Structure 1
């Protein structure tokens, strides 16, 4: 199964327990919306939220958005029913299922097998892709095997809250820094996730910024992972979408510079040279790869 190319700057989380919130999400400027059956839904509301998610897939106009449903993790009693009832009740407009708390490749194997059986039983012709949240020390340790566990996988997501809890980090904030730590405490997991995701051709997403009213802090955090190469970041409130979309859309000046590099290297090749100088810097074949990646990213977000 080839991985579709999808814009994925902002990914809006919406509790599936609220049809009103779901309807607003459908009209939002988010690239991706995921209807949440996990953390934002109380245990007594799980069944109703599951029914809402299945119905909402076909009930609203989602435009060109990618639509996902986050099921509950395998360490709960709800996962199998989430998958079966959502896939049975939802139309083919559903693009993805998101699995939280992925600790090992076996978690992915189990979900992929279940999804495949349900699709075969229903005669669904559009395969559902998978998004995986890495949010534990065990998950990060096993992320290479996890990323290779199924051809259905499209994206890896970083879950900062549960990851911090699993490593014993002294913080109760989600996605923010740690005042006592002189640097970025999350650089290692973010970088490891990015390298593994890219090696497998997957999209890689940063997780939520819980201080939803702090747009300045959000912009700083988003700019950091955008600079590393991440595709996008979660939004837990519609008010965060504009800031996130801006952070993960390459600035026009950078895109124009990338195009100038491609033009300069085309000219150099025509003259039989493998390198050139542009604005006082040496550029070569590696520069072409960087420039092409930036231009492609810009094209996906316009």
Structure 2
């Protein structure tokens, strides 16, 4: 699997040429051009044409280029994939699959992409990300996450999932009445665990209230503490917040480096547990050290974070 940086995934309506033109310069790690919820039925065909133009003509730099196609149960899905990959597959990194209900849904996209890649002679494999946003999909999250070697990330889709669960939430996908703790804790934990078991990334749900930047930051913090790699951004103002929250802090990096060096020095003399600044450190802590330093490495500003 290709390792990509995914702190921020910016949604951009495929129906808006103006927004598509601005998207490469906003600073998001990944931009997905949206043919599903952001495009009315009458605008989907033109949306495909806009995406093809954006992929083939715009300078995306290190930004990961993605497209969210329409769902497998719609009349647009097949044409979305075939037309865009055939015309711009050389410049496309990822396809985002909405409303995945089972591993079979992922298999369908995998097979179709394999056929198209062979037909047009692509020199790279197009990756997949899948949205878990149906009750059936949440129940099958572990099978879905392991369904294809081209799958790179699992995304929690709180909007449709809350509707599928018949949850009583507001337009920001938060409970309409007092609720103890994080309303989305179970779904979040399930997505993270499924992603980690499959060795892929986990991306948190969109936060529609883009004017409340502090609330978005708190929401990012909660997801980051659980282990998510990034979060969707529905507005450019959310991008720098997500990029900051899902990056290790200088203090975390310093702790990881100090702890690693001290542990290696002790390990060379046969010691398996040591004290660092008054805290016991053993092999379990080294896994946290490795996670922190790997995240830091993927976020270096010299381009190593984008592969």
TM, length-normalised to structure 1? 0.97
**Counterpart-to-counterpart distance in 2, 1:177 and 1:10:** 25
Shift of 1:125: 2.1
**Counterpart-to-counterpart distance in 1, 2:240 and 2:94:** 23
Q: Tell me, which stretches of 5 or more residues in structure 2 are unaligned? A: 301-307
**Counterpart-to-counterpart distance in 2, 1:267 and 1:298:** 22
* Residues 176 and 209, structure 1, Cα contact 8 Å, conserved in 2: no
RMSD of the TM alignment (CA)? 1.1
Please name the residue that 1:73 is paired with.
71
Shift of 1:177: 5.0
- Residue 155 in structure 1 maps to residue 153 in structure 2: yes
Please name the residue that 1:31 is paired with.
29
Please name the residue that 2:226 is paired with.
228
User: What whole-Å deviation, never above 9, does each CA across 1:217-269 have from its counterpart, x for those lacking one?
Assistant: 00000001111111000010101111111111111001101111101101111
Please name the residue that 1:210 is paired with.
208
Please name the residue that 1:271 is paired with.
269
* Residues 177 and 184, structure 1, Cα contact 8 Å, conserved in 2: no
**Counterpart-to-counterpart distance in 1, 2:177 and 2:269:** 54
* Residues 174 and 183, structure 2, Cα contact 8 Å, conserved in 1: no
Count of residues in Structure 1 that have an aligned counterpart in Structure 2: 300
**Counterpart-to-counterpart distance in 2, 1:62 and 1:179:** 43
* Residues 58 and 91, structure 1, Cα contact 8 Å, conserved in 2: no
Shift of 1:176: 3.6
Please name the residue that 1:124 is paired with.
122
**Counterpart-to-counterpart distance in 2, 1:40 and 1:68:** 14
**Counterpart-to-counterpart distance in 2, 1:5 and 1:118:** 23
- Residue 258 in structure 1 maps to residue 256 in structure 2: yes
Shift of 1:173: 2.4
Bigger CA drift: 164-173 or 75-84?
A: 164-173
Shift of 1:105: 1.1
Please name the residue that 1:293 is paired with.
291
User: What whole-Å deviation, never above 9, does each CA across 1:145-198 have from its counterpart, x for those lacking one?
Assistant: 111211110110000011111111111323445542111110011001101101
Please name the residue that 1:42 is paired with.
40
* Residues 71 and 97, structure 2, Cα contact 8 Å, conserved in 1: yes
* Residues 134 and 156, structure 1, Cα contact 8 Å, conserved in 2: yes
